[in-house]
Chain A
Amino acid sequence: MVISTVALYFYVKQLMQREVEEELYSTRARVESSLRINKPPYSLPPVFEVEQVAQLGNEKVKDTIIYDPSQDEMEEFRELISYKSINGNYYRITVRNLIVESEDILIAIILSYMFIILLVFLIQFYFNRAKNKKLWDPFFRNLEAMKTFSLSSDTPIPLEKSGILEFNELNKEVTILTDKVRTDYKNLKQFTEDVSHELQTPLAIIQAKIENFINGDTLTEIQFDQLTSIQKDIQRLTQMNKRLTLLTKIENKQFVNLNQVNITGLIEETVQNFHEISSTEIEFSHRDKIRVKMDVHLAEVLCNNLISNAIKYSPQEGKIKVSAKGNSLTVSNKGAKALEHPELLYSRFYRESEAAKSTGLGLAIVKRICDYYGFKIGYHFEEGNHIFSITFK
C-alpha cells in the first residue's frame, strides 16, 4: 500500500511535470511565431516574458519559486528559458507554468487511498459477517446440541445437516463417537445390572447349603465359626450387590414416584433404629421440619446411609450430631484429621481407612440421590468433626 502510494506519487508528479513542460514548449513556440511575424515583444509575467538580449545563451528548464501577487503567496513554477534569434534580434523567451505542489498531490493520493481502504474494509466487514453468520450457523447449533448431550440419554445426539462438507464430516464423526460412548455406557450399566442380578442365585445356593450344613451333623466349634464367617461374607456380597443395583437404578432414573417426605421424621426413626444396634451416641438437635418431594424409598436410603456412614467412621466414644435447620440437614462425626482426598469421597469403593468395614458405596449412593433431585451436598472438616450437610430444594 505504502509502496504503491509512493510509486503513484512519483508517477503522477512525473506525468504532470512532462505535461507542464510540453505546455511550456508549445507556449514558447507560439511566442516565437508571434515574434517572427514582427509583432512587438509582449510580456505577461509570470506566464511569459520576452526580452531582447545581447547574445544567445543555453536553453534550460528549471523549477523556480516566484511571488504570485494574484494569490499573494510564493508559488512553484516550471520555467523554460530559451534564447532565439528572430529577424536578426536576439531574444530571451522565458515561459513559466504553475505546477501543482507535490504536497497537494501526496495528500490527494493518501486521502483517496484511505477512503478506498475504508470503504473496502467496511463492505468486507459487513459482507463477511453476514456470510460467516450464515456459514457457521449449523456449526454453532450443533455445538449447542453437543453441550446438552447426556451420556445416559436414549436418543442419539440431534445434529443438523448443512450444505458444508467439513461440517457434515464433523457431524458424522461426532455422531459415531457419541453413539459409541452411549452404547458403551449402556453396556456398562447393563453389565453392572446383569452381574448383580446373576450373582444372587449362586449366593442364595451357597447360603442355603451352609445353613443346611450347620443344621446337619454335629460340627466342631471351629467349623461352625468358619461357616458363620462365610455367611458374613455372603452378607457383605449381598449388600454390595443391592447397593450397586440401587446405584444403577438411580442412574437409570427408575425412581419416578414423588411423595411428600418428612425428612426429620425419617431421621428420628433412623436414629432410633441405630440406637438398638450401635453403642455410638447420636444427638439429634434442632428438629426443624424438612419436607421434601422425593421417592420414599430413596429418602430412607439417604437418611440411613448418612447416619450409618457416620457410625462406621466414628470412634467408639465419639458422639454423632445430627441437626435439621431450615432446609438443610447436617450430620457430623468425630475424626482425627480431615480427609486426605475429599474429592474421592463420593466415588464408588473409596474408603479413607481400611479399618471401617463398609461396601464403599454408601456415600456414592447419597451423592447420586442428591444429584438426582438437585440437592446440594457438602463436606468439610471442622474442629475434629467430619461434617456432611445436605441442602434440600
Chain B
Amino acid sequence: MKILIAEDEIALQQSIVTYLERDGNVCEVASDYGDAAYKVDLYDYDLILLDINLVTGSGLDVLKQLKKDKKETGVIIISANNSLDDKLDGLDLGADDYITKPFHLAELNSRIKAVLRRGKYGGDDTITFNEIKVDTKSRTAYIEGRALSLTRKEYDLLVFFMTNQGRVLSKEIIAEHLWGDNSDLADNFDFIYVHINNLRKKITAQGAKYIKTAYGSGYKFIAD
C-alpha cells in the first residue's frame, strides 16, 4: 500500500514510517502544507495520514483539495486537538477516521487497515490469516469456513491481533484498544489475560495457536 504521511513533527513522522514500512507499505512523507498539497496533487495514494496542524497551513485544506479532485484516497486525520468540532469538521469533509495524539502505532495501524478494507478503496471487508478469516462487515470470524462464536471483546481482540501481525503488543496497548480511557481503572490486567485465554482456547480448539506470549507480559500474533 502507498501511504503519504503529512506530519510536521519529523520524529513522529519517521516513527510512523518505520512502523508501517515493516508491513511492506510504501511510505512517503510531507513535512509542511505546501509539500503535502503538492504531493497530493501530483501522486495517487491509497491512504493519507493528515495532521491538521501543519506548520504552514491546515491539513483540512489538503483534505478539501483532495475531495475536490475526487481522488479515491483514504484519509485519517491526526490531531493534537481532541476537540469534537475538529473531529466533526474532518469527518464532514470526507475523512475516514480521526485519531488524537498521542496514539499507539498499533492502534493507528489497525485503523489504517480498517480504512483500507472498506469497499470503496478496493478492499474486500475481510482479513485472512492462514485458516482464519474475518468478515469485518458482519463481524464474524471463521476458521476453515466454520464460524466462531466470539464475544464482542474477543472479536475486537482478534482483529487487533490480525492487523498487527508479528508485533509485540503490551497489555497496556491492548487494554487501551479495547476499553479506551477506562482502561486505567484496572489495578492489574488480569481481565485481559482472561479474554486472551478465552480467545486462544476458541481458536486453538479449531486447530490454530497463533497468539504467543512475548517477553513474559506481552503478546504477539504470529504464524508458527
Contacts and interface: CB of A to CB of B under 8 A. Distances in A.
Interface stretch (A69-77, A124-132, A236-244): A236-244
Contacts of B173: 211, 231
B186 A228 contact: no
A209 interface: yes
Nearest to B171: A228
B182 A304 contact: yes
A172 interface: no
Contacts of A206: 102
Nearest to A249: B83
A279 B172 CA distance: 18
Interface in B1-59: 9, 11-12, 15-16, 18-19, 22
A276 B153 contact: yes
A221 interface: yes
Interface stretch (A82-90, A134-142, A152-160, A196-204): A196-204
A54 interface: no
Interface string A253-295: 0100000000000000000011011110000000000000000
Nearest to A198: B80
Contacts, number: 119
Contacts of B11: 205, 208-209
Interface stretch (B67-75, B103-111, B204-212): B103-111
Nearest to B195: A276
Contacts of B171: 228
Interface residues of B, number: 42
A380 interface: no
Interface in B162-202: 167-168, 170-173, 175-176, 179, 181-186, 191
Contacts of A278: 185-186, 191
A267 B176 CA distance: 21
Interface stretch (A91-99, A179-187, A212-220, A334-342): A212-220
A278 to B, nearest CB: 6
A224 B169 CA distance: 11
Given A200-B80, A235-B176, A277-B185, A212 B215 contact: no
Contact of A245 (B82, B105, B214): B82
Interface string A17-58: 000000000000000000000000000000000000000000
Contacts of A234: 102
B22 A276 contact: no
B101 A200 contact: yes
Contacts of B218: 214, 224, 228
B153 A207 contact: no
A273 B182 contact: yes
Contact of A311 (B16, B22, B181, B185): B185
9 contacts: A198-B80, A200-B102, A211-B104, A224-B168, A224-B217, A224-B218, A239-B184, A242-B82, A276-B179
Given A224-B170, A308-B182, 10 more contacts: A201-B80, A201-B101, A211-B106, A215-B22, A215-B168, A224-B218, A228-B171, A234-B102, A245-B82, A278-B186
Interface of B: 9, 11-12, 15-16, 18-19, 22, 80-84, 100-106, 153, 167-168, 170-173, 175-176, 179, 181-186, 191, 214-218
Interface of A: 197-198, 200-201, 203-209, 211-212, 214-215, 219-221, 224-225, 227-228, 231-232, 234-236, 238-239, 242, 245, 249, 254, 273-274, 276-279, 297, 304, 308, 311-312, 357
